[in-house]
Structure 1
C-alpha cells in the first residue's frame, strides 16, 4: 500500500511540473505515467530501472517534461563513466544528440551557448574528431551565446585547443594572444559573479547571523566552484607559458609594424599587449605609443605616456598622465588600470589611506582586479603594529589582512594559489585559540584604528 501511495504521489508531483513545461504538442496520460516511473527511479540513481521508461520517453514523449532531459543527462553521463573502448564514443555521441534534442523541445529553458559548449566539451573529452573540429565547435558555441557559458573547464579547453593548434602550425600566434585575453576575462567575470554571491553570505556570517541550511549549501557550492575557476585560471597561464613573453611579442609586432602602422586598432592592441606584459623598455613600445598618440590622442595614449614617464623616473609627469587617462577614459577596465597605477605610487610613498582609496576606485571600475585586494591586504599586515592599541588588537589586524587576501583569489582565479597561501600566512600571525580564550574575545568585535579604521569579528572558539 505504501509503495502505491508513493508512486501516486510521485505521479501527482510530475503532473504539476509538466503543466509548466508543455509545448504545443499534447502530452498523453501514458507519457505522464511513464514519466513518473522514470523520475522515481532516476532520482535515486537507479538508472537500470529507469532505462526502459527513459528510452520510451525519448522516442515517444520528447516534449513530456524538462525532467526527461535533466535526469536523462545524468543517466547517460553515468553510462559514459562506466563505458570502455568503442562504447565511450557511441555513448558520447548519443549524449550530444540528447542535448540537441533538449534544445529542440525546450529552447526557452536551454542556454544555447552553454548547451553547445557542453557538446563541444564531450567531443574533446572523448577524443571525437580533430582538434580543429573541436576548436570550431567551441567557437561556434561562444559565437552563439557566450553569456550563457559559465563552465571554467569549457572556457579553458577552448584556449588549450588554440595553443595546441598553434603548435601544429594551424593557428596564428596572434589568435592565441587574443584568445588568452578573452579567456582570462571570461574566467574573471564568471568568478566575480560567484564571489558576489558568496560575499553576501560571508557578510551575513561576519555580522553574527547564522546561515540557514540552504544558505550553507549554497556557500559550499560557491566555494567549490570558485576553486575550479582558480584551477583553470592557473592552467590558462601555464598553458600560455613562454608564448606570452616579450621575446615572442616584440618580434611578432616588429614584423607587422610597417604594414600596420596606419591601422589604429592594430597599433592600439600591440601597444596594450606590450604594456600588459611589461615589455615597455623596448624601442618598439616607444615607437608604438608615439604612433598611437599621433594617430589618435586619447586616454590610452595618456596612459602609455605615463608608463614611459614612469620608466624614465619622471613621477610628476607620470601622475599627470595617469590622471589625464582617467579623465578621458570611458572604458571601466582602462580606468581601473589607471587608478591601480596611481594607487601603486601612493603605496610606495607610504600613503596607505590614499592608496586604499585608489585601489577601491580601481575595484569599483573592475571588480575582478584581484591584485588590488592583495595590495590592500599587504598594507594592513604591514600596519599591524601601528594600528592596534594592544598586543591582541595588533595581531587581530592579520585576520582582516587574511580575509582581504582571500578575496583576491575569489574574484581573480589565476591569483587563487598565491592569494590563499598569503591568507594562510596572515592567519598564522593572528591570535591563536589560547590567546582568544585568555582574552575572552571569542565572537567579539575588534575596532582597528589609524588609517585602517575598520573592525573585525574574532572567531568563536
Structure 2
C-alpha cells in the first residue's frame, strides 16, 4: 500500500512539474507574439497557460485582457462580439479568484467592459458598478466608470426607481466627488479626465444639491457617522462649495478635526470658522492646514491664499506667506505680482523722502519682473504694471543725480529689503 501511495505522489509531482514547464514555455511563446502585437497567434498559448496554470502570475490576466479585447475589436458579428465580451467578464472573475488582493474593484471593470464595448445591458452594467463601488470605492481610478455610474444612478432616480432615492443620490455624489478629489493627487497624469468627470457629475447632480436638501440629509445621517472619517471627509467636501455657512457644516468640521488633525480637516474648520466670522480661529486653522499639507504645489497655493485673503491687510505677514509660497513653488509667478502690488501701495508709508518713495516703486518693478520669469503667462500683467508705475519709479537719471549708481539702500518699514542700483 505504501508503495502505491509513493508511486502516486511521484507521478503527481512529475506531472505537476511537467505542467509548470509547459506553462513556462507557453508563456514565453505568447509573450513573444505580444511583443510584436500579434494578438491572434498569442491567443492559443495564452489560453493554455490561463487554463493550466491560473495562479502563475497576474500577467496572465493583464495580458489576457489585451488579447481578448483585440479579438472583440476585430470580430465580424454582434453575436460573436458579445460572446467575446462575456469571455472577458469570465476572465475578470478568474483574475479575482486567483488574485483577490489586487482585484477588489474587478466588478467595476466588468461594468466597463460591457459599457465600452457597447453591449446593451444597462441594468447589468449598473449592478456591476453598484457592487464594485460599494465594495472598493477607494480602489477605483477610472474617470469613465465614476461618471457613468453616477449617470445611471440619476437615470434610475428619474425613471422612478425607489431604490435610488434623492438621499442615495446625495450619498453617492458625496463619495464619488471625494474620490475624484483624492485621485487628483494619486494620479496627476489623469487630471484632465478627472476634471471632465467632476464637471459631468456636478452637472447631473445640480438639481439635488441645494442647501435645503443637503442640510436635511446630513442632519439625518450625522448621528450615525460621527466616528466615520471617510464619511465626514466626503460630506464636508460636498457641503463646502455651497453650504459652508450652515450649522451642520460647522458641526461636521469640528467633529472631523477632533478625530483627525490633518491639512484637510484644518482647512474645513478654517472655512467653517470664517463663515461664522470667527476670524482668529480661521487664521489659525488656515495656517495649520498649510503647514500640514504634504503636496508642495498645494502647500504653495495655501500660503498664497493666506497672503491674498485673510492676511492681505497685514502686509508684513502677507509678504511672509508669499515668500513661503514661492519657496514651495518657484513657478507661482502671481505671488511676485501680488508682492509688487503690496510694495507699490506702501510707497507713501515706507518712504520718507521723494527719492525713497520712488525707490519703493523701483523695488516693486524689480519684483514684478520676476513674475514673468516664473510664469511667462503673466507677461502682459507685468508689462501693464511697469507701464502704470513708470512715472512714480526711479529713472536712470534719478539714480545718477542722487549719485547712487553701484550703491545700495535699505527700505525699512515692513518691507525691509535692500536695493542695489545698477552701476550705470
- TM-score normalised over the length of structure 1: 0.54
Q: Which residue matches 2:372?
A: 398
User: Among 249, 258, 263, which residue is 2:210 paired with?
Assistant: 249
What CA deviation, in whole Å up to 9, does each residue of 1:43-75 have, x standing for no partner? 211122223323333334434554432322211
Q: Which has the higher contact order (CA 8 A, sep 6+)?
A: 1
1:345 aligns with 2:310: yes
Give the drift of 1:150. Answer: 2.9
Equivalent of 1:37 in 12, 29, 37: 29
Contact 1:114/1:149, CA 8 A, preserved across alignment: yes
1:54 partnered with 2:79: no
SS at 1:191's partner residue? Answer: helix
CA distance in 2, matches of 1:144, 1:125: 22
CA contact (8 A) 1:163 1:239 kept: no
Aligned residues: 333
1:230 has 2:196 as partner:
no
Query: Counterparts of 1:296 and 1:71 in 2: how far apart (Å)?
Result: 43
Give the direction of change, closer, same or farther, for the CA distance of 1:57–1:356 in structure 2 (3 Å limit). Answer: same
Q: Report what 1:77 is aligned to.
A: 69
| 1:105-146, Cα deviation, whole Å (9 max, x unpaired) | 3x17x6122433322211332355754542332343344444
In the other structure, the counterpart of 1:20 is none
2:229 is the counterpart of 1:277: no
Partner of 1:323: 284
Match of 2:84 among 80, 91, 104: 91
Q: 1:29 to 1:255 in 2, by over 3 A?
A: closer
- Unpaired segments ≥5 residues, structure 1: 1-23, 196-225, 310-316, 364-372, 403-424, 432-449, 454-461
Larger Rg: 2
3-state DSSP class of the match of 1:113?
Answer: coil
- 1: distance between equivalents of 2:366 and 2:286? 43
- Which residue matches 1:152? 143
Matched, 1:113 2:104: yes
**Cα distance in 2 for residues equivalent to 1:401 and 1:277:** 29
Kindly report which structure 2 residues correspond to 1:298-447, keeping only aligned pairs within 5 A, or say none: 304=272, 306-309=274-277, 317-320=278-281, 323=284, 344-347=309-312, 351-356=317-322, 377-383=333-339, 394-401=368-375, 425-426=377-378
In 2, the alpha carbon distance for the partners of 1:428 and 1:325 equals 31
* Aligned residues of 2:30 and 2:42 also touching (Cα < 8 A): yes
Describe how 1:194-233 pairs up with structure 2 within 5 A: 194-195=187-188, 226=189, 228-233=190-195
Deviation at 1:94, TM superposition (A): 0.8
Over the residues paired in the alignment, what is the CA RMSD in angstroms? 5.2
Q: Secondary structure at the match of 1:45?
A: coil
Return 5+ residue gaps in structure 2 as ranges.
Answer: 1-14, 259-265, 344-360, 384-410, 418-424
Normalised to the residue count of structure 2, the TM-score between the two structures is 0.58
